[in-house]
Structure 1
Amino acid sequence: MTVVPPEAGEPRRPAGPRDPGDVWVVAPSGEKYWGRFGAAGLLAYDPARGILLQHRVAWSHFGGTWGLPGGAMHEGESAIVGAVREAQEEAGVPDGAVRPRFTSVLDLDVWSYTTVIADVVRPFDPVISDPESVALDWVPVSDVDSLPLHPGFAGAWPTLRALLDVRPALVVDAANVVGAVPDGWWKDRAGATTRLASRLDGLAVPAGELGIGGTVWFPELALVVEGRARGAEAPVPDVTAELLPAAVVSVVEAAGAGDDAIVSEVDRRVRDGQRVIAVTSDRELQSRVLAAGAAGVQTAGWLLRLLDGTP
């Protein structure tokens, strides 16, 4: 890998201190890629209007094409934060307007590009806020292929488009997961369940664990509680943050038997078009949720390993 000084054809930036990531990376084969620490872009998806695309100014890299707002990441910056920061700088995306659903990473060893696919949760109109855009527009999904696309985005678009309709969700047997760790949960079941809900907030799940494409997903989570665990509380989103919590955690209180409530929640979400994974180590319940249409089942230990960051 070779780092080329910014003067060698970099995208123009507003005057001010330059970030050390704003340089070209040259691969051994000679291809140039923008961003010492990699790059990231935001695919903001609004089912009513389509995806937000940027018409790139002529002097930029692959000028005249349409692509995603994005750019070089800063040192130590996560891809999600970098993609949203760039989209705010280039398209005026407001704080809290999008919620990440999944990421897709192109890793070239010497350089990587992360596409952050995010659902629009607060509709907004984009604003050209730097000189890199000729236009910004919401483009219906069916019309994207008719535009002259940035080559990188054109290569990724068929896969990304196929995943736009995939909405994974985990339906969690709270009693089963809480009871898998002998930490004194029996003294305060509601409190132990509330702590589990807090740990689930922002849960990132590798795509391979869900059996779908992409790299990492942030599924919706339904925590089904029963008995003395009723009264457990779901995390409260910080609506002042740039990003709303990536994972949406809801607490579902069973009116009767907890197993029946779990099956009912799976059935409801399947009928709503979600790809549901049920989390329980109860084999009888696993059979029931599969019969209700769940795409798969995982054990309490699987979820706890994800929360602990272990394979």
Structure 2
Amino acid sequence: MSGPVNSHPDPSDSGDAWVYAPDGRQFWGTYGASGLLAFDRVRGVLLQHRVEWSHFGGTWALPGGARHRGESAVDGAFREAAEEAGVPDGAVRPRFSAVLDLGFWSYTTVVGDVIIPFEPEITDPESLELRWVPLDEVDTLPLHPGFEQSWPALRAELERSETIVVDAANVIGARPDGWWNDRAGAADRLLLALERLAEEGIPADALGLGHSHWWPRFRVVLEGAAREAETRDAQVPELTVVRAPGEGDETIVHVVKELAQRTPPHTVWTITSDRGLRERVEAKGSRILGSRWLWDRIDALTD
């Protein structure tokens, strides 16, 4: 497929230019584009009524726009949401992303959960209205063609949640780095690595899920001397430390059971290579990932 043809390339590298497909269709963003689908479980999703002079003006879509050169899709989506809808920093936590890749141009939808309620504000001239729309009412609006096409698949995932439960003792024991001399210190190192993993997320294919990238929550179960590790919950809300009062396996089974029974549906993975524990948590509805899988994800973190 032939590459894009840019009209009026912007010397500031903002990406604000048209890209033309081989068949003549035009797409906004030299470096692609991205948008934020902010989901509030009470109010619905945040949609933008696009001003008439914009591309597909008069339709409803997500706050979003062209990515800057070198800007990640996630950063671009949150920047555009702040610029167009006044979405406050830290108010939305990313959960997964979905990419439409045409080869010469791509659009990334970043789906996030509202963790700090806010009211959107029209902060630039590109919006006629910003509105929280209940999920069942989205289809009643005249939608931007691209959003209309992607909405059914996005809608199917919105009410699901994902948590990875970590058998810290088993994971730490899988790497002979001297942990037996300082179990609390080894647990601290694991928690620090998991903070970064929670922030960067995990490629969807590594979890056997659809779309492109996921940001699951983590619950890390510590037992024995490892319980003296620092509590890092305040630094990264997506990571919760659970200190087992006794044997870690019993706490892990309890945590998995509680998560798996939640409504709306909750997908749970347990990271352990202990065969007996694997069988017990599978019986409670958990999927299984081995300790080696987690170390591979940690080792792949960018510096």
TM category, shorter: over 0.9
Q: Tell me the equivalent position of 1:289.
A: 281
- What percentage of residue pairs aligned between the two structures are identical? 55
Q: Does 1:254 align with 2:256?
A: no
Matches within 5 A, 1:16-95: 18-95=12-89
Q: Tell me the equivalent position of 1:4.
A: 6
Tell me how far 1:307 sits from its aligned partner.
Answer: 1.2
Q: Tell me the equivalent position of 2:272.
A: 280
Q: Does 1:267 align with 2:281?
A: no
Q: Tell me the equivalent position of 1:125.
A: 119
Q: Tell me the equivalent position of 2:190.
A: 196
Distance 2:8 2:132 in 1: 31
Deviates most, 161-170 or 185-194: 185-194
Q: Secondary structure at the match of 1:195?
A: helix
Task: Check the 8 A contact 2:14/2:67 in 1, yes or no.
Answer: no
CA deviations over 1:177-219 (Å, ceiling 9, x no partner): 1111111111211121121111112422222332332211110
Tell me how far 1:127 sits from its aligned partner.
Answer: 0.4
Task: Check the 8 A contact 1:178/1:185 in 2, yes or no.
Answer: yes
Distance 1:179 1:234 in 2: 20
Distance 1:234 1:23 in 2: 47
Aligned pairs, number: 294
Q: Does 1:235 align with 2:265?
A: no
Distance 1:46 1:208 in 2: 26
Work out which of the residue numbers 137, 143, 146 in structure 2 matches 1:143.
Answer: 137
Q: Secondary structure at the match of 1:37?
A: coil
Q: Does 1:214 align with 2:215?
A: no
Counterpart of 1:194, as a letter, is: D
Task: Check the 8 A contact 1:2/1:25 in 2, yes or no.
Answer: yes
Work out which of the residue numbers 166, 177, 181 in structure 2 matches 1:172.
Answer: 166
Counterpart of 1:174, as a letter, is: A
Q: TM-score, normalised by structure 2?
A: 0.93
Distance 2:35 2:14 in 1: 18
Tell me how far 1:5 sits from its aligned partner.
Answer: 2.6
Work out which of the residue numbers 289, 292, 299 in structure 2 matches 1:298.
Answer: 289
Distance 2:196 2:85 in 1: 25
CA deviations over 1:9-55 (Å, ceiling 9, x no partner): x9xxxxxx954411111122222111111100000000110000000
Distance 1:188 1:116 in 2: 40
Tell me how far 1:234 sits from its aligned partner.
Answer: 4.0
Q: Secondary structure at the match of 1:4?
A: strand
Tell me how far 1:60 sits from its aligned partner.
Answer: 0.2
Matches within 5 A, 1:105-120: 105-120=99-114
Task: Check the 8 A contact 1:222/1:250 in 2, yes or no.
Answer: yes
Structure 1: give runs of 5+ residues left out of the alignment.
11-16, 239-244
Counterpart of 2:173, as a letter, is: G
Tell me how far 1:123 sits from its aligned partner.
Answer: 0.5
Counterpart of 1:71, as a letter, is: G
Task: Check the 8 A contact 1:44/1:118 in 2, yes or no.
Answer: yes
Distance 2:230 2:27 in 1: 46
Counterpart of 1:113, as a letter, is: Y
Structure 2: give runs of 5+ residues left out of the alignment.
none
Tell me how far 1:2 sits from its aligned partner.
Answer: 3.1
